[in-house]
Structure 1
Amino acid sequence: MVTFFVFCFFSKIMTERLLIKALSGGKNTKIITLNGKKITKMPSALGKLPGLKTLALQNNLIPKVCPELCNLTQLTTLNLGNNLLEEVPEEMKYLVSLKNLHLAGNRICRFAPGACDGLQNLILLNLNNNHLTQLPQEVNRLKSLTHMSINFNQLASIPRELCFLKNLSELQLNYNELKCIPEEIKFLKKLQKLLLARNNIGVLPKELCDLKKLRILDIAGNIIRIFPSGFQDLKLREFYCEGNPLFLQWPEIAKQQENVWSLQEITSRFVINHPAENNPFLMDAMEWYPEIRRIISQRKTCAVCGQYFITTWLECVQFVPPPKAWKISKNLQLVPVRALVCSYKCFTQRDPNLFGIARV
């Protein structure tokens, strides 16, 4: 214990000397590094260095930031990793030039109100190894963000607002408690790397297939059984899915069922399979009855005949070989992809790699 206090005493002296040296440089001081100094309080003297560009204070014992941090409006990199912070502090909103923010290895469980307000130039946000259970809606204010890493937290969901960060190219959410991915993920048009390993995700949204620039996808260790239709068309370079209970190719005989459709289904199939521009009556009906447009918007495509329909006769799984360009998990020989069939007639004419999914 005595040794520890002696170490802390000398660390404090060294810290003060480093600060004095930095202050002697005045406005010309650009970088301060005080890593692993057992600092228990962020030095208020930092407020006298408005021209500071980089501040590294990781591996200390800092529980909160000092108010003077607000003066560092030219700061571009701040590293407070491995400290004792319990929130993303409100003072962050004053760091209008900040591009890189490292807060990994703290005890962060919340964002202070307004913390995201001024971070319009933030490019990288690292919140790994914290205690976050949710993200605030205000995360959508990080307009310039390209890299977000929130591995090893306790997130139960992703706010749809996160999906409006149009510049995001890398999103890491490994080792959380996620159960689903919002369909708004389709708006992350620049996303190239998505890591979702070791969560509780059971279904991937079909909108994931809209991510044309996605190159790396890791969903290992979830509870996914089947992938959305069109998944095999993604231009991935790396795909990892080990540890999921994927459907395996196991043929079963399907019992014949009569095709009994409601009048709404019959009408809907007629409307959506006959373009309105060729039928003035249908065009007028869709204009005057919004309900018709709503029903049509829910249309699906039969995997066999290619016709549109509303009510699914049978949900199927189609086994397709992974594209040769994909670097894949070991033992992944066939990718189970969701497919829908509109009638028994189509089911009897299906491809030999298309199987009905038995519901227990």
Structure 2
Amino acid sequence: MTERLLIRALSGGKNTKIITLNDKKIKMMPSTLGKLLGLKTLDLRNNLIPKVCPEISTLTQLTTLNLGNNILEEVPEEMKYLTSLKKLHLFGNRICRFASGAFDGLQNLILLNLNNNQLTCLPQEVSRLKSLTYMSINHNQLTNIPRELCFLKNLSELQLNYNQLTCIPEEIKFLMKLQKLFLARNSILVLPKGLCDLKKLRILDIAGNLIQIFPSGFQDMKLREFYCEGNPLFLMRPVIAAQQENIWSLQEIASRFIMNQLAENNNFLMHAIDWYPEARNIISRGKNCAICGKFFITVWLECVQFVPPPKNWKISRNLQLIPLRILICSYRCFTHRDPNLFGIAQV
């Protein structure tokens, strides 16, 4: 049957646009496919193909390639020659690596599906997929997200459910077109502050992680759906701090003075700081006190503030209050805090 289909396709020559060979128990990609130079769609799902044939590199008009549910072990180098490719399905294989240069020519790719594979990491070259709008890598073994992924400026949906992620890079704030982010069933401990900069994000799923608290400003996001069940969120249990005012180091005192003077547009310091890169590096780590609003380096106390979720969010049933991370610079500010702020850890 496979042979007859290929013979019929070959007889069509350049006029053949679609080849579908699903569920044919194919053990080797037919090299004759390389003769179908006008092919647009190639569907080889549900076979036993361990690798692609070199001749696939001639299919420069191909826009959709589906190799889902085969036995591939890598994303092959031949992919870089498919310069017209828009949709690439590689789900349900045994992929654990990427060949060098595999992404080099995929400038038009808009969809990448790598679900149900054995990936532990993504290459930095993922940043070359400039047109990508949809990426799904559910059910793999990813332990981190490369910061390069966060520079895919057209990405609108990112699915990373059921991996082994422990953190999300701060650079995620650069995914300004992201509308849907799925991070369920990982081991994420903390969400980055940069997440709150995603103005177009509408769906966020972080169910089944290890998150206790959300970054300040999280409640102002324009979400429509938010799911967080299965996380050990902080509960409203007050902690009393008995520690008196700290004695700051000279570096802390100087840093606080410089940062707060810069905030007031002190022209002398604004020009002088350019000559001291080490000082610039230190103050770049500055934070705002939630009570007095002044800058500091060393956190005196991390607090939690409980706020109700916005009424227009579709949320997990068990979410009644959102615990927000609030940082305080001193014992004095802690004693003047709002009664809804609770200390949670001495830093």
Q: TM-score range by the shorter chain?
A: over 0.9
Q: Alignment partner for residue 336 of structure 1, among 323, 339, 347? A: 323
Letter of the 2:226 partner, please give it. Answer: F
Tell me: CA distance 1:299–1:182, structure 2 relative to 1, closer, same or farther (3 Å): same
Q: Alignment partner for residue 121 of structure 1, among 108, 125, 148? A: 108
Q: Alignment partner for residue 153 of structure 1, among 117, 125, 140? A: 140
* Cα separation, 2, equivalents of 1:64 and 1:256: 64
Instruction: Report Cα offsets for 1:169-215 as digits up to 9, x if no partner.
Output: 11111101111111111111111111111111111111111111111
Q: TM-score normalized by structure 1? A: 0.92
Which has the higher Rg, Structure 1 or Structure 2?
A: 1
- In the alignment, is the contact (CA less than 8 A) between 2:104 and 2:128 conserved in 1? yes
Q: Alignment partner for residue 34 of structure 2, among 36, 41, 47? A: 47
Q: Is 1:172 aligned to 2:172, yes or no?
A: no
Aligned Cα RMSD in Å? Answer: 1.6
Letter of the 1:250 partner, please give it. Answer: R
Question: Matched residue of 1:92: which SS?
Answer: helix
Letter of the 2:275 partner, please give it. Answer: W
Q: Is 1:222 aligned to 2:215, yes or no?
A: no
- In the alignment, is the contact (CA less than 8 A) between 2:45 and 2:70 conserved in 1? yes
Q: CA deviation at 1:110?
A: 0.7
Query: Partner residue of 2:284?
Result: 297
Instruction: Report Cα offsets for 1:235-263 as digits up to 9, x if no partner.
Output: 11111111111111111322141232223
Q: Alignment partner for residue 350 of structure 1, among 328, 337, 340? A: 337
* Cα separation, 2, equivalents of 1:183 and 1:113: 27
Question: Matched residue of 1:357: which SS?
Answer: strand
Query: Partner residue of 1:269?
Result: 256
Query: Partner residue of 1:62?
Result: 49
Letter of the 2:229 partner, please give it. Answer: E
Q: Alignment partner for residue 233 of structure 1, among 206, 220, 224? A: 220
- In the alignment, is the contact (CA less than 8 A) between 2:302 and 2:346 conserved in 1? no
Identity among equivalent positions (%) equals 81
Question: Matched residue of 2:25: which SS?
Answer: coil
Structure 1: runs of 5+ lacking an equivalent: 1-13
- In the alignment, is the contact (CA less than 8 A) between 2:301 and 2:346 conserved in 1? no
- In the alignment, is the contact (CA less than 8 A) between 2:301 and 2:345 conserved in 1? no
Q: How many residues align?
A: 347
Question: Matched residue of 1:59: which SS?
Answer: coil
* Cα separation, 2, equivalents of 1:66 and 1:122: 21
Q: How does 1:67-78 map to 2 (within 5 A)?
A: 67-78=54-65
* Cα separation, 2, equivalents of 1:37 and 1:279: 73
Query: Partner residue of 2:194?
Result: 207
Instruction: Report Cα offsets for 1:260-288 as digits up to 9, x if no partner.
Output: 22233223222222347764543453233
Letter of the 2:194 partner, please give it. Answer: E
Letter of the 2:18 partner, please give it. Answer: I
* Cα separation, 2, equivalents of 1:65 and 1:279: 63
Query: Partner residue of 2:300?
Result: 313
Q: CA deviation at 1:231?
A: 1.2
Query: Partner residue of 2:238?
Result: 251
* Cα separation, 1, equivalents of 2:274 and 2:77: 50
- In the alignment, is the contact (CA less than 8 A) between 1:276 and 1:283 conserved in 2? no
Q: CA deviation at 1:299?
A: 1.4
Q: Is 1:140 aligned to 2:127, yes or no?
A: yes
Question: Matched residue of 2:269: which SS?
Answer: helix
* Cα separation, 2, equivalents of 1:203 and 1:51: 49
Q: CA deviation at 1:358?
A: 3.3
Tell me: CA distance 1:202–1:276, structure 2 relative to 1, closer, same or farther (3 Å): closer
Query: Partner residue of 1:8?
Result: none
Tell me: CA distance 1:278–1:177, structure 2 relative to 1, closer, same or farther (3 Å): closer
Question: Matched residue of 1:273: which SS?
Answer: helix
Q: CA deviation at 1:80?
A: 0.6
Q: Is 1:108 aligned to 2:95, yes or no?
A: yes
Q: Is 1:286 aligned to 2:280, yes or no?
A: no
* Cα separation, 1, equivalents of 2:182 and 2:87: 20
Q: CA deviation at 1:297?
A: 1.7
* Cα separation, 2, equivalents of 1:287 and 1:142: 36
Question: Matched residue of 2:88: which SS?
Answer: strand
Query: Partner residue of 2:5?
Result: 18
Q: CA deviation at 1:345?
A: 1.9
Instruction: Report Cα offsets for 1:305-330 as digits up to 9, x if no partner.
Output: 21222221111111111111211111
- In the alignment, is the contact (CA less than 8 A) between 1:86 and 1:109 conserved in 2? yes
Structure 1 residues 60-69 or 267-276, which shifts more? Answer: 267-276
Letter of the 1:292 partner, please give it. Answer: A
Instruction: Report Cα offsets for 1:37-87 as digits up to 9, x if no partner.
Output: 111111111111100100111011111111111111100000010011111
Q: TM-score normalized by structure 2? A: 0.96
Query: Partner residue of 1:11?
Result: none
- In the alignment, is the contact (CA less than 8 A) between 2:239 and 2:344 conserved in 1? no
Tell me: CA distance 1:31–1:274, structure 2 relative to 1, closer, same or farther (3 Å): same
